[in-house]
């Protein structure tokens, strides 16, 4: 059971917090005050009922007092997550991190944003109570880094990346981030209908490189319960982002999230190779055409020669269509490995991409959605423990 306490003189903010927790387990208590008690025990004494899991320090409180009280909670009651609403989000990030504050949010945040942060804070509190570390990452030492890639462009890589992230978000709420490493022409932002204030160009420099609190403040929150780190606004910024910075960024994200889905650029550039060096999984995407299939075969051969093939491989055949003149056996014979998931040619899939609402977000029953769910299933924790008949022969071309 989750239990929330909000301290703020701002009645509107308290109302939004109550709306955000509607449907979540546990009750919300509030203290309408513009000052903070001197110690955590003074706070806890006024509470009744179940254990406190999340303390929300709302607008109208002095930041110095909020940092002081949060530091005391972090020392005396580390199992309680503290969330702070602060006007100057960027300036507050570093002192908040040092005080042990779990997350920051703008005071005017909407109900959906507040709900997402409180769910994450509640999960972190549950992890601490089980004695598995100070944050959610204690439950899972290092998340899975899933590189979605193709040697050729135009095969639906971004569509698959965004749907995979949304599908995984349904398995691990707020435990998924999709990173757009197509640094020149990335479309994750438009594919998820996001307008990011910060991008990867901001995340690989400054304080975000050292502090996960700052890095998380640069992520965009999506209504499907996932985070996104989008490509730079200006394609010329790619020159300022090195392969080493990309590698460090992915390691940071893997320490914070259960799944890191990486939408890579076409080809095998330095940023793609840096991603593969750290990836636990690779999702290979190809279309049902000769150039795409041959490009995938060449890419597999090159990476095998230099030892950069991740242990877990998932091959997705997009735009599968018997009328293309090729069969599934032709594709597999050319690339030299089995196809794991075949996505049939579908009108719904490009339409959903153009709308900015992934197919797995709107609950579509389209045949392509069924294939995407099969791909998501391959990343469930118990996947490898299952007894699969003809493991790689599940793909069907319609």
For residues 228 and 194, is the Cβ–Cβ distance under 8 A? yes
Q: What per-residue confidence (pLDDT) applies to 1? A: 42
Confirm whether 4-138 and 144-377 share one CATH topology: yes
Q: Sheet containing 341-344: give its strands across.
A: 220-222, 226-229, 176-181, 259-264, 144-149, 281-286, 312-320, 341-344
Whole-angstrom distance, CA of residue 232 vs CA of residue 61: 35
- Show the DSSP H helices in the chain as ranges: 11-20, 40-45, 63-76, 89-98, 111-129, 157-169, 188-191, 200-203, 212-217, 243-256, 270-278, 290-306, 328-335, 348-355, 367-377
- Coil/strand/helix, residue 159: helix
H or E stretch including 88?
A: none
Q: How far apart are the first and last CA of the chain?
A: 46
Task: Give pLDDT tens digits along the chain (398 positions).
Answer: 458 999 999 999 999 999 988 877 678 889 999 999 889 988 888 776 567 889 999 999 999 999 999 999 988 888 899 999 988 666 788 888 888 888 888 999 999 889 888 887 877 776 666 554 433 333 334 789 999 999 888 899 999 999 999 999 988 877 899 999 999 889 999 999 999 989 999 999 888 888 877 888 889 989 888 999 999 988 888 888 999 999 999 999 998 899 999 999 998 899 999 999 999 999 999 988 899 999 999 988 888 888 888 878 999 999 888 787 888 888 899 998 899 999 998 888 888 888 999 999 988 888 899 999 999 999 988 776 665 544 444 444 44
Q: In what order do the strands lie in the sheet with 28-31?
A: 28-31, 4-7, 54-57, 81-85, 103-105
Its CATH architecture, for the domain 144-377, is 3-Layer(aba) Sandwich (3.40)
Kindly report the pTM of this predicted structure.
0.69
- Where helices occur in 263-364 by DSSP H, the ranges are 270-278, 290-306, 328-335, 348-355
**What is the CB-side half-sphere exposure of residue 312 using CA atoms within 13 A?**
17
- pLDDT value for 394: 43
Domain ranges of the chain: 4-138, 144-377
Using alpha carbons, list the distances in angstroms from residue 288 to 38, 312, 345, 366. 66, 23, 10, 19
From its phi and psi, is residue 325 left (phi > 0), alpha (psi between -120 and 50) or beta? Answer: left
Rounded-to-integer distance, Cα 79 and Cα 58, Å: 20
pLDDT at 323: 81
The SS3 call for residue 24 is coil
Rounded Cα gap, residues 320 and 336, in angstroms: 18
Question: For residue 71, with 0-12 CB atoms within 10 Å meaning exposed, 13-18 middle and 19 or more buried, which class applies?
Answer: middle
Specify the 3-state DSSP secondary structure of 382.
Answer: coil
pLDDT value of residue 398? 45
Q: What is the largest CA-CA distance in the chain?
A: 75
Q: Which two tokens stand for residue 332?
A: 């597999």
Q: What is the CATH number of domain 4-138?
A: 3.40.50.2300
Bridge partners (DSSP) of residue 176 are 259
């Amino acid at each position: 059971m989750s239990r929330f306490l909000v301290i703020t003189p701002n009645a509107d903010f308290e109302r939004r917090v109550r709306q955000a927790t509607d449907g979540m387990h546990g009750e919300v208590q509030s203290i309408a005050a513009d000052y903070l008690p001197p110690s955590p025990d003074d706070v806890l004494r006024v509470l009744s009922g179940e254990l406190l899991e999340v303390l929300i320090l709302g607008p109208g409180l002095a930041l110095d007092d909020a940092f002081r009280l949060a530091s005391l909670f972090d020392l005396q009651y580390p199992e309680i997550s503290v969330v702070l609403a602060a006007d100057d989000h960027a300036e507050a990030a570093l002192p908040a991190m040092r005080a042990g504050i779990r997350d920051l949010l703008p005071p005017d945040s909407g109900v959906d944003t507040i709900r997402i942060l409180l769910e994450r804070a509640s999960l972190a509190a549950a992890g601490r109570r089980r004695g598995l570390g100070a944050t959610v990452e204690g439950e899972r030492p290092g998340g899975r880094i899933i590189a979605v890639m193709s040697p050729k462009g135009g095969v639906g890589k971004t569509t698959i990346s965004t749907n995979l992230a949304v599908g995984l978000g349904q398995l691990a709420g707020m435990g998924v981030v999709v990173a757009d490493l197509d640094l020149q022409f990335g479309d994750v932002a438009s594919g998820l209908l996001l307008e990011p204030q910060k991008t990867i160009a901001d995340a690989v420099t400054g304080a975000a490189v050292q502090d996960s609190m700052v890095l998380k403040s640069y992520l965009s929150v999506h209504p499907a319960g996932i985070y996104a780190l989008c490509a730079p606004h200006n394609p010329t910024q790619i020159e300022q982002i090195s392969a080493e910075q990309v590698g460090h960024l992915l390691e940071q994200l893997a320490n914070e999230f259960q799944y890191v889905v990486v939408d890579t650029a076409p080809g095998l550039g330095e940023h793609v190779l840096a991603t593969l060096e750290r990836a636990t999984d690779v999702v290979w995407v190809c279309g049902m055409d000769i150039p795409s299939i041959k490009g995938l075969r060449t890419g597999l051969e090159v990476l095998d020669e230099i030892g950069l093939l991740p242990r877990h491989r998932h091959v997705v055949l997009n735009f599968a269509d018997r009328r293309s003149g090729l069969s599934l056996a032709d594709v597999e014979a050319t690339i030299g490995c089995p196809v794991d998931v075949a996505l049939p040619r579908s009108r719904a899939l490009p339409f959903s991409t153009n709308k900015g609402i992934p197919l797995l977000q709107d609950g579509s029953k389209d045949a392509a959605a069924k294939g995407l769910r099969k791909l998501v299933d391959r990343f469930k924790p118990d996947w490898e423990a299952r007894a699969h008949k003809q493991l790689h022969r599940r793909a069907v071309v319609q």
